[in-house]
Structure 1
Amino acid sequence: MMDSKGKRNDPTRRQRILDAALVVIAEVGVAATTHRRIAIAAAVPLGSVTYYFTSLEALLTEAFLQLAQTSSAAFRARLEKATDRASAREAVIDIIAESIWAEPRTLLLSYELYAFAARHPPVSAVMQQWMDSSRAALGRFFDPLTARALDALVEGIGIHNSIDQAPLDRAAIRAIVERVAGG
């Protein structure tokens, strides 16, 4: 495909750059992520990265937004199957016990996102959108305070289970969810 100046136009290049940014962040962390590393991972010229993104922070912010949207979609999809409060509790248990949002790569990226957001206010807005989305999905069945507690529980247990030598099993997760959300 050619653009108006007769140059090749790659309609997937911008998305490849975003995807590559997440790959690089997962491999080396935000602190070691550079335009050059992203360009190499995306298999694009270095100039393409700066063409599509005005700064590294803008690129990282958008990549983290993509991560948050993907993770929120998986979270919402499981909760959308719920028809009542009891099935919503089961959905929360599934989300935690089956690592629906918290597969290892996503957890690693979320650690990086939290650390980056602490020092970059535009990224904290990404975190807020992610939390708002999760709480809205939970809010179909739970009051706002319980939805907030369950959201923190989903993330907290996911994070702890990812590094704990004795992660919580489904029965323990069920007991905790029922204590928070009522059984």
Structure 2
Amino acid sequence: MRARRTDPGRRERLVETVLDLIARDGTAGATYRAVAEAADVPMGSMTYHFPTRDDMLFAAFSHLADTQHARFDRMMAELPAGEDPREAVVRIIVTHGTDYGRDLVLSAELYALAARDPRYRALTQDWMERSRASLARHFPSELAPMVDALIEGLVLHGQLGTEPFDEDRVRTAVYRLVGDLR
């Protein structure tokens, strides 16, 4: 009897491989064959874990949303006692605005899918709602969606623009939007 090969982390490895290929080649480059080859798994493993290519892409983008939100939530949850949450938002924007490369490309690919497909739009909406809940720990709930949009917009401008990233301009925008928190 032949020993059965086990690879308990295969699905997670495949998801990461899908994201790597999307970051490099766009969603068009994330085919079953390309993923199987890059992950060094048999082609049958792809259909076992992801019955359709769309299931594969959705799993990868769901993982991206979960991972990015967990990082964001941790940053908002771990504010030191007494720290102004506006400064945490500035720090998040500045950090993402200057070092977001791969995740920006992946997010842009997700946004393009969400613009065309309601299933991905629901995924991005869920991600936004979770981000807003993280922000609502420190800001009024009616302000959380605006802070979330400001973060997203300033990060995109920081990554896609050619001007040097201006932390003072970010701080001014955050403080003007949020106002006094007392």
- Aligned positions of 1:10-159 closer than 5 A: 10-82=7-79, 87-99=84-96, 103-159=100-156
Alignment pair present for 1:176 and 2:176:
no
Query: 8 Å contact 1:21–1:60 — kept in the other structure?
Result: yes
Render the CA deviation track for 1:101-131: whole Å, top value 9, x for unaligned.
9611001100000001222222222211210
The one-letter amino acid of 1:28's match is: D
- What percent identity do the matched residue pairs reach? 40
| Structure 2: runs of 5 or more not aligned | none
Render the CA deviation track for 1:66-118: whole Å, top value 9, x for unaligned.
11111111111111123679621111000001118961100110000000122
| Structure 1: runs of 5 or more not aligned | none
The one-letter amino acid of 1:42's match is: A
RMSD of Structure 2 on Structure 1 (CA): 2.0
The two structures have a TM-score, normalised by structure 2, of 0.91
Query: 8 Å contact 1:20–1:42 — kept in the other structure?
Result: yes
